[in-house]
Amino acid sequence: MNKHKSLSSGSLIERATEIYDFNAALQGRAAPAVEVPEDEALVELAPQAPEIAAAQTGYRAPDWSGPVQPIDRIALVEAGYLLPDGPVTAMSEEFRLLKRDLLAALAGHARGNRVLVCSAHSGDGKSFTAINLALSLAAEKDREILLVDADFGKPGIPEALGLTAGPGLMDALADPAITIEDCVLRTDIPSLSVLPAGQRSNNDTEYLSSARTEMLLGRLTEGRPERIILFDSPPLLAASAASVLASHAAIALLVVRADRTAEGALREAAAMLRGGPDVRLLINGVRFASGGRRFGSYYAKGQAD
C-alpha cells in the first residue's frame, strides 16, 4: 500500500488522484457479463434521457405518500454525521464541494440522476459518505433526494437515521404485487426520502440484472429531473450485486480510505466498474497539512475577514 502524504488543496475527488492512479484499472478486466431479459419497450427507452422518455410515455413519477418519520438528529450528531440546518463546518463544506462536482456531472447525463456510492471493502466509509452526501444534497432548494439502502447483506441506512424500515427495493423486485413507491420512507426533511433494502434473497444479483430493475428505477424518476437517486452499494469485492447495481448508475463514487485501502484492492474494484458508470474516486480519512484549508473557521463568530 502507498505511503500517504498530507494533502492541503483541491476537492476531495482531486486529492484522491494524487494518491491513487486507478485509470489503468478502468481499462482492465470488467466484471463478467450478465444476461438481461429483453423487453423491447425498456430497451428502447433505457438509453434516452429521463425527460425524453417521460415525454414519450406521458408518465410522471408520483410524490411519495407514506407517513412522515422524523430523523433522529441526536443520533446523527453522536455518529459524526452532518446535522441538517446545523452550523457550517469543515465537513459540511467538503460535502458542498463534492455535491457541486456531482451535480455538474449529472447534468444531462443519459443514465439520469443516479449515483452509486461504493467501496472495495466494508469499513472504507461508503455508508458514512452516502448519508452525508444525501443530507448535503437535500439542502438544495430545487432537488429531491431518494437515498436507497442497497447494501442488502448489511443494510443500515434507516437505522442510522432513526427511521423504521418496512418493505424495500428487493421486496419490490421479487414480488410484482409490491408497489415500489409505497416502500419509500418520507422524512421530516421534505426533500429527503429513503428506500430500505428490503428482505434479502439468495438471488440479489439476478433480480438486479433483470429488466424489472430498470423499469422500477424509471418509475421512481421519470418526469422528475429534480429527483436524484443515491445508492449505498454493497462492497464491490464482497458482493457480486454491487457491480450489477453499478450498471444502473450514471456515476459511481468509489470511496477509498487513505489509511487502509490497498492499491491492489482499489484497482480490482475499479476494474469491476469498467464499461458502466462514470467513476469518481473519493479519498476518505486524509490528514490535512498544517496551515492548509480549514473550512468552517471562516464562519465562526467573531472571526475577522
Sheet containing strand 192-195, strands side by side:
68-69, 185-187, 192-195, 144-149, 227-232, 114-119, 251-257, 278-284
Average pLDDT over residues 113-117: 96
CATH of 50-287, one of 1.20.1340.10, 3.40.50.300, 3.40.50.2300, 3.90.25.10: 3.40.50.300
The answer to whether 260 and 233 are in contact (CB under 8 A) is no
- Condensed to tens digits (0 to 9), the pLDDT of residues 173-199 reads 999 999 999 999 999 999 999 999 999
Domain ranges of the chain: 50-287
For 107, the enclosing helix (H) or strand (E) is none
- Report the sign of the C-alpha dihedral through residues 38, 44, 46, 47, in that order: positive
Residue 47 binned pLDDT confidence (cut-offs 50, 70, 90):
very low
Average pLDDT over residues 70-93: 94
Q: How far apart are CA 151 and CA 157, in angstroms?
A: 9
Average pLDDT over residues 198-205: 91
- Condensed to tens digits (0 to 9), the pLDDT of residues 148-164 reads 999 999 999 999 999 99
